[in-house]
Amino acid sequence: MLKAGPVRVLGAMSGTSLDGVDAAEIVTDGHEVLEFGARDYRPYSTEERAVLRAALGRWPDEAGVAEAAEVVETAHAELLGRFETPDLVGFHGQTLTHDPGGRGTHQVGDGRVLAEFLGAPVVWDFRTSDVELGGQGAPLAPFYHFALACRVGAVEPLGILNLGGVGNLTWIDPALPRPESEGALLAFDTGPANAPIDDLIRVRTGAARDENGALARRGTVAAEIVSAFLERPYFYRMAPKSLDRDTFADLGAAVAGLPDADAAATLTACAASAVVSGIRLCPSPPKRLLVSGGGRRNAVLMEMLGAGLDCPVLAVEAAGFDGDMIEAQAFAYLATRVARGLPTSAPGTTGVRTPVGGGKISWPGG
């Protein structure tokens, strides 16, 4: 049983960019975020990244999945073992494929392994319950975003955008009392973000990413490709909605005939245009948009967002948050809510039929 009152919780996130594992501590009671604690990062090696990439799109028991699970568990154990033993751990694992309207969702990494290794209870498998109840199973950070909006005393609608491999947006009305309150949150995946850009850079140059958008800045956007991209049915669907990392994998083929800089500029414009399109689905325009994730470091992407939106677009550091660790902190917060029997998703965040608390809890010693 988790002790009453505030607890020190450690969360971890391995995202669709496949760069590595983030880990961060918070102190929370499952409602408020009371303190931010230690943080750390463990990159995947080139070999580990290749194993994970080879397993993308695969389901349990398919070739390469067991090897991917071993990479994920080993990396998390190494990183989380650097921290003092927390009261609780939130472990998301690594998403290999996500098909909420079909076969479901698949994250590798067994929380029982980490519970034994760390000697602490571990909450994991956050998405399955939501999907089983008709939800998208993603995005899952919005309840934490609501807590952050309350922490900074926001009183007007606020947007928090995560630019990882996929972009996801949370629209927040902090005037409502709880994240599960009707109308408090609307959340959805906006479209591809860093994933197609990173894949292009890796194939064309061997680098991991377009640092600061330097390559894109030298290029010219192929407007006809962006226009065709925005005509895809996904952008006409109402929110909530979610994507797999490789839903738009054919974007690489669309820019295959372009020079490197033009291809990078065009994919960056696609990512920004998807967000601008998504903002139109919100109940009202946010008064400001706070951006987390690696994409906030892409100056060209941030400039394109600023040019396309009528509100200030700022890195989350402007509000005093850590843009590299919000996702890891979110799983610490969600783990606490699971352990306390509180919901972690709602109709406005994933489309689930009723607010639900997802996740399994594994204790050391079974």
Q: What is the residue-level pLDDT of the chain in tens, covering all 366 positions?
A: 788 899 999 999 998 788 999 999 999 999 999 999 999 999 999 999 999 999 999 999 999 999 999 999 999 999 999 999 999 999 999 999 988 888 889 999 999 999 999 999 999 999 999 999 999 998 999 999 999 999 999 999 999 999 998 999 999 999 999 999 999 999 999 999 999 999 999 999 999 999 999 999 999 999 999 999 999 999 999 999 988 888 898 999 999 999 999 999 999 999 999 999 999 999 999 999 999 999 999 999 999 999 999 999 999 999 999 999 999 999 999 999 999 999 999 999 999 999 999 899 999 997
Strand-pair category, 289-292 with 313-315: parallel
344: amino acid identity, one letter: T
Residues 299 and 225 in one domain: yes
Residues 186 and 291 in one domain: yes
What is the pLDDT at residue 265?
98
The three-state DSSP-derived secondary structure of 156-181 is: CCEEEEEECCEEEEEEECCCCCCCCC
Report whether 294 contacts 213 (CB < 8 A).
no
Residues 25 and 103 in one domain: yes
C-alpha to C-alpha distance for 222 and 40, rounded to whole angstroms: 39
349 part of a folded domain: yes
What is the pLDDT at residue 366?
78
148 part of a folded domain: no
- Domain harbouring 232, CATH code: 3.30.420.40
C-alpha to C-alpha distance for 20 and 166, rounded to whole angstroms: 16
Considering the entire predicted model, what is its pTM?
0.94
Q: What are the angstrom distances between the C-alpha of 47 and each of 50, 52, 72, 211, 326?
A: 5, 9, 13, 22, 27
What is the pLDDT at residue 298?
98
Q: How many CB atoms lie within 10 A of CB 224?
A: 10
Residues 78 and 221 in one domain: no
Residues 158 and 126 in one domain: no
How many domains is the chain partitioned into structurally? Answer: 2
Residues 183 and 99 in one domain: no
Q: CA 178, 181, 183, 186: dihedral to nearest 10 degrees?
A: 70
Return the bridge partners of 35, or none: 27
Q: Say how many Å lie between the first and final Cα of the chain, rounded.
A: 13
Residues 166 and 56 in one domain: no
The residue from 319, 336, 351 where one domain ends is 319
Residues 307 and 337 in one domain: no
343 part of a folded domain: yes
C-alpha to C-alpha distance for 25 and 169, rounded to whole angstroms: 23
Residues 133 and 186 in one domain: no
Residues 56 and 119 in one domain: yes
Residues 247 and 274 in one domain: yes
What is the pLDDT at residue 29?
98
Nearest alpha-carbon partner for 41 in 17, 66, 67, 5 = 17
The helix (run of H) or strand (run of E) holding residue 209 is none
Return the bridge partners of 36, or none: 26
Q: What is the DSSP letter of 218?
A: T
| Degrees to nearest 5, angle at CA 79 with 201 and 16 | 35
The helix (run of H) or strand (run of E) holding residue 169 is strand 166-172
2 part of a folded domain: no
C-alpha to C-alpha distance for 50 and 290, rounded to whole angstroms: 32
Domain interval for residue 116: 7-138+324-362
Nearest alpha-carbon partner for 302 in 259, 279, 269, 261 = 269
**Residue 333 CA, distance from chain mean position:** 14
278 part of a folded domain: yes
88 part of a folded domain: yes
User: Based on C-alpha coordinates, what's the Rg of the chain?
Assistant: 19
Residues 287 and 344 in one domain: no
Report whether 100 contacts 133 (CB < 8 A).
no
C-alpha to C-alpha distance for 345 and 320, rounded to whole angstroms: 25
Residue that the structure tokens 């054919």 belong to: 250
